Amino acid sequence: ARKKILKEKGVSPDSFEESVAQALFDLEATSAELKGDLRDLYIMSAKEVDVSGGRKAVVIHIPFRLRKGFQKISERLVRELEKKLSGKHVVLVAQRKLSKPPKSGYSLARPRSRSLTAVHESLLNDVCYPTEIVGKRTRFAADGTKTMICYLDKKEKSTLEGKLETFSAVYKALTGKDVWFGFQD
């Protein structure tokens, strides 16, 4: 189970991260359909996020380089992890790096993918993967607060109806921005 979580040098995983890594290890050992795909995959960290109604969601940070491997099996993996973690919703998010904006006028010093806007945009896509975002709006309230409204593909409405609050809570916890998820009519 220790091979399924990789932390920075000198940092040891806490008990919750160990339990998520153990669940991944158990899935690799028992599930025949996931065994080959999970062999080379590992996680960076995991944390619990409070969702409204006293429920909790599990956010699992995965290495950016292994993102495609996780996305290939994400539906089956999330379903099995939700069973193992006593019905908590599971969200897989790639670990991305932010770079500071350049101080001088040399704008090529930082790739666009490392900017705050691009990272937050990618996190939004990660949170609701495998569903596509088909539309986005930004609503400005009279008191000056901003809320982003994301419309998801309505083909997935039956499977995602119960997870919309989870997506909002996870994105708020990761970025500090308010977002509302719905389905386009």
Contact call for residues 56 and 169 (beta carbons, < 8 A)? no
pLDDT of residue 73: 83
pTM of the predicted model as reported, rounded to 2 decimal places: 0.84
Q: Is 178 helix (H, G, I), strand (E, B) or coil?
A: coil
Question: What is the secondary structure of 78-92 as a DSSP string?
Answer: HHHHHHHTTT-EEEE
| pLDDT per residue as tens digits for the range 23-50 | 888 888 887 777 777 777 888 888 888 8
| pLDDT per residue as tens digits for the range 91-137 | 889 888 777 777 776 666 777 777 777 888 888 888 888 888 889 88
pLDDT of residue 142: 92
